[in-house]
Amino acid sequence: MIATRIVTGTLVFAAVASVGLAVFAAKQSPAPAAAPSPDAGALSPNVKVVIQTVPPEKAKVSWGKKPIGLIKGKNKPLILERPRDSGPMDVVIRADGYLPVHTRAYTFTDFKLYVKLTKLEEKKSLFGYREALPDAGAPEAGAAAAMGPPAGPPMAPGDAGAPR
């Protein structure tokens, strides 16, 4: 008798749950849209990579050692066409009077890259800047002789690793 009530209760619960899910799914499904055109979802095989400097200055752009183009100033960015998903491009932007900037451009989608240029005089404002160490130069030939012989008694050839 108890087993019959459990089975009946489970069946009623399953029926109510399935009706509730059907109603919920009907409310959530969007209205049928017009048939999509065959070209609507297709991605182009190429992407555009646009590189512009801030402030807008004339600059040379290279990919490794290979020059790939020029940024010609205000409203004249460098526009590159690359195959989609062909991998990242590590580029270097060089402008006269500014520090060179090493950065990366991606090719998985159209990409706009704005590069902040820093004037040579303002390089101290960059995070991680270090003053250049002064060149100490080569030691003088007589400096080692002026220091004198090493302290302590001379070691015999067999005593090189022996403790004292």
- Please choose, from the candidates 92, 102, 55, the residue with its C-alpha nearest in 3D space to the C-alpha of residue 75: 55
pLDDT higher for 13 or 60?
60
Does position 54 have pLDDT exceeding 60, yes or no? yes
- Tell me the C-alpha distance between 85 and 43, whole Å: 11
User: CA–CA distance from 140 to each of 86, 147, 148 (Å)?
Assistant: 55, 12, 14
Q: Is 51 exposed, middle or buried, given 0-12, 13-18 or 19+ CB atoms closer than 10 A? A: buried
List the beta bridge partners of residue 56.
none
H helices of 29-110, where? none
Determine which helix (DSSP H) or strand (DSSP E) holds 7, and give its type and residue range.
helix 2-28
In the chain, what are the domain boundaries? 46-119
Cα distance between residue 26 and residue 3, in whole Å: 35
- Mean pLDDT across 107-132: 91
pLDDT of residue 68: 95
Cβ-contact 130, 118 below 8 angstroms: no
Q: What is the pLDDT of residue 155?
A: 66
The dihedral sign for the CA sequence 81, 86, 88, 93: negative
Per-residue model confidence (pLDDT) at position 131: 84
Q: The pTM is what?
A: 0.56
Question: Which range is least confidently modeled, 17-31, 44-58, 94-108?
Answer: 17-31
Q: Per-residue pLDDT tens for 1-18?
A: 554 555 445 444 444 444
Right CATH for 46-119 from 3.60.15.10, 3.40.50.2300, 2.60.40.1120, 3.30.70.270: 2.60.40.1120
